[in-house]
Each structure stands twice: as structure tokens, then as C-alpha cells.
Chain A
Amino acid sequence: MLPCTGRIDESLLLKAFENGADGVMVIGCLEGDCHYVNGNIRARARVERVYNILEQINIGPERIRMYNLSAGEGAKFAAFTNEFVGRVEELGPSPINLARSNGSKESEQEVQAT
């Protein structure tokens, strides 16, 4: 939880994928309603940059998405979250997690073979 999505930069978002996230959802305040004037607009630009990076390295750009909500929109938050989680589940594990699980299976097999 950050006080403003303006604090988010590309490296934080990429770190989430490095740390095993299959998808990353960024939720900022409604556009035009940022307490820090344009933090959510900056966040959107950074999310778009990460979207492009994920596309270039074949991780899948649809694994990241930004939503804008006010603090009073709990039902909408739940709906957006369910929608995003559903989409990520359809996509399956990220290529990073697939590579990691393949790697651990291989090492298990090596241990069993010895």
C-alpha cells in the first residue's frame, strides 16, 4: 500500500514479477482527483511503459493493468479485482514461474535419479 500511485516506478512493478507475481494490478485515485495533483497520471504512464517492456520480453503485457477508483467504491474494487484475477488465471502462471517450476521439477528428478 502506497500513499499515492505516483510513488510507483517501473522498477517496483518489474520487481513484483521477479518476486513471482503472475499479474500486477495498480489501483490509483480517479483521474483529476489526485491529492498530489498528477500522481495517478504519472503512474499510468509508468504502467504503460512496463506494459511495453512485458510485451517486448514475452512475459505478456496483459499481466499488468491500472484501474482508477475512489476510496468509496468498494463494490467496484471487488468487481475489478475479480475481473483481473480471472483474466490472470486464464493466462496461467507467468513464464518466469513456469521456468521456475520446470527448474525445480528437473532438480527433483536429478535428486531422485541419484
Chain B
Amino acid sequence: MITGTPKPIEEILEMVEPYDNIIVAGCFGCVTVCRVGGDKEVQVLSSTLRLAREAAGKKIEIREVCLERQCDPEYLEPMRPYIEDYQAVLSIACGAGIQFMAEKFTKTPLLPGINTGFLGVTERQGEWTERCQGCGDCVLHLTGGICPVTRCAKSIFHGPCGGSVQGICEVDKEVKCGWQLIIDRLVSLEQMENYGKLKPYKGWDTSRDGGPRRIIREDMV
């Protein structure tokens, strides 16, 4: 899922300061699962803003909505009839959802209520960790299902570097060396031959280097 963290309330209050009539928009997708931008978070944030603004003597009217997904056009359309009745939208979807809404409704300022994080997994309730950087050229079949691009701080492709000490990465004592994890897994899977199959150079042309990416499925267009 795409993860995120709430922006500090002071920052959000500063963003909405010029407005007295806004929409707070959540998303039932990833941000609901990681408890940062779903229906409940819309209610909590809206109440918080109303309380803060009323206490400061500058009331704010808020329409609370939560869309099925903010990254699909059909779920944004129901907002079209009323969005221009409001001065701004504070979205607590991921950066993709916020941008897509901004593209569809060009006359209304869009404000981000969260800081979008990474593509990750739920370790346990309240803890998420990164697993994928969307490099566009997956090698997990050769690396025991552990991604060297994400799990190695340097995203290197030729085994542990000199900063790996007893399975721990030099960047942080809490971070395991991605390559040590890969080798340990390959050994346990009896697939160490895969270590030699890795490409000498990884092509990054499928990653972010070429700017914003696009996928076109001709069979679906």
C-alpha cells in the first residue's frame, strides 16, 4: 500500500488560514488501511480544525467526504456538482490522489493534509515498512523475494558493501543489510546460483530517471 503520515496540525491550520469554507476529503484506499486518510481521520481532522478555528474566533465550515479512491476519475466526479461551493479542498489522500483531484477540478485550490510516504507493508498495527520503490524491472525471483533496490540503502546489485557489519547496515543500527538478508535467504532456499545471474548493470530507464512514467495497456484502452 501507499503509506503516509499526518501533517502537523499547526501546518494544516496555516494552510487553511485564508479559508472559512472547505472540504476535507479522505480516501477509502491505502490511506484508510494505514490509518492516515480514511473516513475516521476525516472526522477527527475536521473536528480538530473546527475546534481550533472557533477557539481562535474564526469559525470554519467543513464538508466531510471520503471517496472510494481519489486516484480514479469516476470516484472524483461526484464532487463536481458541489466542489466550487467551497474555497478549498484539504485532501488526506496520497500525493497521487491529491494531484489527480487538482487536475480534475482546476478552479479549486488543493491542500495536502498528509505527507505521503512509501510503498510498504503492515508489520503490525501501527508499524509500516518500505518494500518497493517501483523501479519497473523486478528481480525478486533472483533475490529470494527481497528487493535490493529498496532494502539496500545504496540500491546496489552486487552483494553487501563494506558498510554491512554482522548483518546491520551502516546507515542505521535498526536497518538490516538488505544484501545479507538476500544471501541468507538464497542459502536457505538453496538458490545461491541466482546470485550469479544478477545483471552486471541494472537498467534504470524503467525507473524514475526518465521523468513521470506511464503505463498503456493497449488491450484495455
Interface of A toward B, CB cutoff 8 Å: 9-11, 14-15, 17-18, 53, 56-59, 94-96, 98-100, 102-103
Contact = CB atoms under 8 A, between A and B. Distances in A.
Contacts of A10: 40, 44
A46 to B, nearest CB: 10
A82 B52 CA distance: 28
Contact of B50 (A18, A58, A100): A18
Contact of B55 (A9, A11, A53, A96): A96
A14 B9 contact: no
A9 B40 contact: yes
A59 B57 contact: no
B42 to A, nearest CB: 9
Contacts of A98: 55
Contact of B51 (A9, A14, A103): A14
A14 B44 contact: yes
B11 to A, nearest CB: 11
B43 interface: yes
Contacts of B52: 57-59
Given A11-B40, A11-B43, A99-B57, A59 B51 contact: yes
B9 A15 contact: no
Contact of B48 (A9, A53, A102, A103): A53
B10 interface: yes
A10 to B, nearest CB: 5
B54 interface: yes
A97 to B, nearest CB: 9
